[in-house]
């Protein structure tokens, strides 16, 4: 059976494209897998795809993300918040 799906949001298409590259599947096959997982209620990420990602695909994904993070805080403020929100950890006897 063939079905046409229209008006898929761009962010969903990009996620599907990324997953298809990571999984080394065609976009069509990735959509079918996503539908099957959704219908079977299989938890996302259960197939542990990170082990199968090629170095080239990983670099391509990171290059797309590079420079896209937006934050109005200064670098100094971000670092300050990281240190402020850290927990002391557990005590260790040496």
Work out the pLDDT band at 15, boundaries 50, 70, 90: very high
Work out the pLDDT band at 71, boundaries 50, 70, 90: confident
Higher-scoring residue by pLDDT: 63, 28? 28
Instruction: Give, for 13, the enclosing helix (H) or strand (E).
Output: helix 10-23
Confidence (pLDDT) at 94: 76
- Take residue 11 and report the two structure tokens written for it: 């962010």
Q: Please determine, for residue 43, whether its predicted confidence score (pLDDT) is greater than 70.
A: no
């Amino acid at each position: 059976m063939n079905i046409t799906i229209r008006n898929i949001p761009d962010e969903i298409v990009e996620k599907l494209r990324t997953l298809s590259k990571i999984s080394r599947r065609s976009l069509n096959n990735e959509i079918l897998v996503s539908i099957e997982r959704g219908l079977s209620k299989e938890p996302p990420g259960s197939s542990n795809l990170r082990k199968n990602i090629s170095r080239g695909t990983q670099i391509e994904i990171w290059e797309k993300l590079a420079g896209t993070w937006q934050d109005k805080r200064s670098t100094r403020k971000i670092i300050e918040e990281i240190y402020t929100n850290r927990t002391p950890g557990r005590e260790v006897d040496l």
